[in-house]
Amino acid sequence: LYGDYESLTNGEAIDTLVDFTGGVAERINLIIIKDEKTRKVLFGKLKEDCENEALIICYIQVKPGDKRGKELPQGFVLGHGYSITAVKDILQGNTKLLMIKLANPWGKMEWNGPWSETSSEWQKMGPILEAELPISKDKGEFWMTFDDFLNHLTNVDICHIVKPSNEFILHSEWTGRSGGCDYKTQSFLSNRQFIIEIQQDEDELVVSLEQHDIKPSESHTERTLNTIGYSIMKVFNSNKIIDDFCCQARVTDNGGEESKSVKCDVFGKKKEKYTQKPGYIHVLVQSSHDLQFL
């Protein structure tokens, strides 16, 4: 996929998962998860994604000046990916515990805080509760509370596996008009458009955009990505007037995150998922950063 094993060094794990599975990538910034409501929504989402056999990675983002691979006091390795293998909520007396299980693929260097392998919390549990939180000792697996997870990890990458029975493929090409990425300009609507109608209230629209790597040199870390993306707008179809701007996503190499795929749900201005109402359709507009890019 990348040409040689050396090119995998310092690459994005989520890109590799997408290449191997054909799944849909999603990135979540844990730093912005602040209020209790958003935390509960995220916990439920991760639990559902685990049950749906998505591949989930979490890590601590490397900041400028930090050293990738540095072992932190709490046992985590900076910039290293950990698999999320289980998400559970259990009752301990009258207290509801939100728990998440991680695995270090190295098989060592684990979390050493509460609920770690040798912590005192395990001694307070009965055999029934202990059976609900199984763990393989000395294999890099460990449990931690969801609050500790949010306090120490910074990012989650999810690769959603698309079931063939739910998949429909339409082949096309990105050619022709290019009106730039600023949806406030008149030229924006000259970009190619796709009309999408969501017929059931419980249906969810997920859009993913991916591009192949362009490797001008032997090093995979010097790849160049075109700044392309898409926007989704909500339109009342009786008069074709844009009613609301839902979301915008970009694959970028110009100061953005080094990932070759992006994904967004249809969100409103309050970052809540839309409930589809009769008479509304969604318009997906593909765009490049610059005018006349194609």
User: What pLDDT score was predicted for residue 247?
Assistant: 55
Annotated catalytic sites, by residue? 80, 104
How large is the C-alpha radius of gyration of the chain?
Answer: 22
User: What pLDDT score was predicted for residue 224?
Assistant: 61
Q: Contact at 8 Å (CB) between 115 and 99?
A: yes
Q: Is 164 helix (H, G, I), strand (E, B) or coil?
A: helix
Of all residues in the chain, what percent are helix, strand and coil, respectively (each to 5)? Answer: 20, 30, 50
- Residue 217's CB is within 10 A of a number of other CB atoms, namely 9
Q: Contact at 8 Å (CB) between 271 and 277?
A: no
Amino acid at residue number 106: W
What residues of the chain score a pLDDT lower than 50?
Answer: 216-217, 219-220, 243, 250-276, 278
Nearest Cα to Cα of residue 52 among 204, 189, 278, 170: 204
- Residue 37's CB is within 10 A of a number of other CB atoms, namely 8
User: What pLDDT score was predicted for residue 53?
Assistant: 92
**What's the token pair of residue 170?**
């339409």
Q: What are phi and psi of 269, to 5 degrees?
A: -65, -25
Q: What is the pLDDT of residues 9-55, one digit of tens each?
A: 666 788 788 878 888 888 889 999 989 999 999 999 999 999 999 99
**What's the token pair of residue 93?**
């007396």
User: What pLDDT score was predicted for residue 276?
Assistant: 45
Q: What is the pLDDT of residues 245-275, one digit of tens each?
A: 555 554 444 334 444 444 444 333 222 333 4
User: What pLDDT score was predicted for residue 102?
Assistant: 96
Torsion of CA 93, 98, 99, 100, to 10 degrees: 170
- Residue 256's CB is within 10 A of a number of other CB atoms, namely 13
- pTM here? 0.73
User: What pLDDT score was predicted for residue 254?
Assistant: 39
Q: Is 290 helix (H, G, I), strand (E, B) or coil?
A: coil
User: What pLDDT score was predicted for residue 273?
Assistant: 34
Domain positions in the chain are 5-160, 172-288
Q: What are phi and psi of 71, to 5 degrees?
A: -85, 125
| Max CA separation in the chain (angstroms) | 66
CATH number of the domain at 5-160, please?
Answer: 3.90.70.10
User: What pLDDT score was predicted for residue 5?
Assistant: 66
User: What pLDDT score was predicted for residue 73?
Assistant: 94
